[in-house]
Homo-oligomer: A and B are copies of this chain.
């Protein structure tokens, strides 16, 4: 895979970079960002994947979430992928919650999306293989986190790849796309109207089917989040965890909304959560 450096600069003693490559899986050029901590100069480091929410690119969390300070201290590489395929030839939808910027971390099966919208394979196979091939990361120590749609991505990818990821967390995640308007629209559009197939992409359903994992799942949720009741519904995941005996730390925070001000406040706790599990 050939890589174009879009930017690289010092940040908390490490390097914050943004890179572009041609994705064969997605059939388009893609960007992603990587924070390389100072510890990477002395040996392989664990890697934390950060999956972003609706409308985001690789840039939003990179410039707003403020993870670099703790990542530098803890020696974590942090990778932020984009949220969908990109380019004029890639089909799109006028809505903010479908098409570009809204890939939902699934492999689409419906036309016209099936050709490009394969974010699940892109992240878990193509991009992961590239990251491993560079040699700076210890791929036996991977964690995954994300926000909103990216929290859905983090939880589902973790639950479907229990041997790959050792830790997971999420900020205000969509925990059950089968049971919220954003998810119903996306799954219908990308996967089709057979609801049985949707369970493959629903964190609650995956947990109930696969049973508890060894991990402690950390979720933070703001109580002033406009999407809390209509879309996010953390109580559904709480119930699923209880049902299968999954360890969950779900923290509800009064006064916090869905923004990066919420994420930046708690990102250090998440990085420590992952660093502890990835020791």
A residues 241-274 in Cβ contact with B at 8 Å? 253-257, 259-262, 264-265
A265→B63 contact, CB < 8 A: no
A9→B256 contact, CB < 8 A: yes
Residues on B with C-beta less than 8 A from A262 are: 9-11
Residues on B with C-beta less than 8 A from A68 are: 261, 264-265
* Cα-based distance from A12 to B256 in the complex (angstroms): 10
* Cα-based distance from A261 to B65 in the complex (angstroms): 12
A224 within 8 A of B: yes
A residues 109-129 in Cβ contact with B at 8 Å? none
Give A contacts to B, CB under 8 Å: 9-13, 15-16, 63-64, 66, 68-69, 222, 224, 253-257, 259-262, 264-265
CB within 8 Å for A254 and B10 given contacts A63-B64, A68-B261, A68-B264: yes
Pick the residue among B12, B222, B260, B261 that contacts A265 (CB under 8 A).
B12
A257→B66 contact, CB < 8 A: no
* Cα-based distance from A15 to B224 in the complex (angstroms): 12
Copies assembled:
2
Pick the residue among B10, B253, B255, B260 that contacts A222 (CB under 8 A).
B10
By secondary structure, the A interface counts as: mixed
Q: Determine how close the nearest CB of chain B comes to the CB of A222; give it in whole angstroms.
A: 7
Q: Determine how close the nearest CB of chain B comes to the CB of A45; give it in whole angstroms.
A: 19
A10→B260 contact, CB < 8 A: no
Residues on B with C-beta less than 8 A from A12 are: 264-265
* Cα-based distance from A16 to B262 in the complex (angstroms): 10
Q: List 25 A-B contacts (CB under 8 A).
A: A9-B256, A9-B259, A9-B261, A10-B253, A10-B254, A10-B255, A10-B256, A10-B257, A10-B261, A10-B262, A10-B265, A11-B256, A11-B261, A11-B262, A11-B264, A12-B264, A13-B265, A15-B255, A16-B261, A63-B260, A63-B261, A64-B64, A66-B66, A68-B261, A68-B265
Besides A9-B222, A63-B64, 19 more A-B contacts (Cβ < 8 Å) are A9-B255, A9-B256, A9-B259, A10-B222, A10-B257, A10-B265, A11-B256, A11-B261, A11-B262, A11-B265, A12-B264, A16-B261, A63-B63, A63-B260, A64-B64, A66-B66, A66-B69, A68-B261, A68-B265
Q: Determine how close the nearest CB of chain B comes to the CB of A82; give it in whole angstroms.
A: 19
- Please give me the residue from chain B that is nearest to A253 by CB atom: B10
Residues on B with C-beta less than 8 A from A224 are: 9-10
* Cα-based distance from A9 to B264 in the complex (angstroms): 12
B69→A264 contact, CB < 8 A: yes
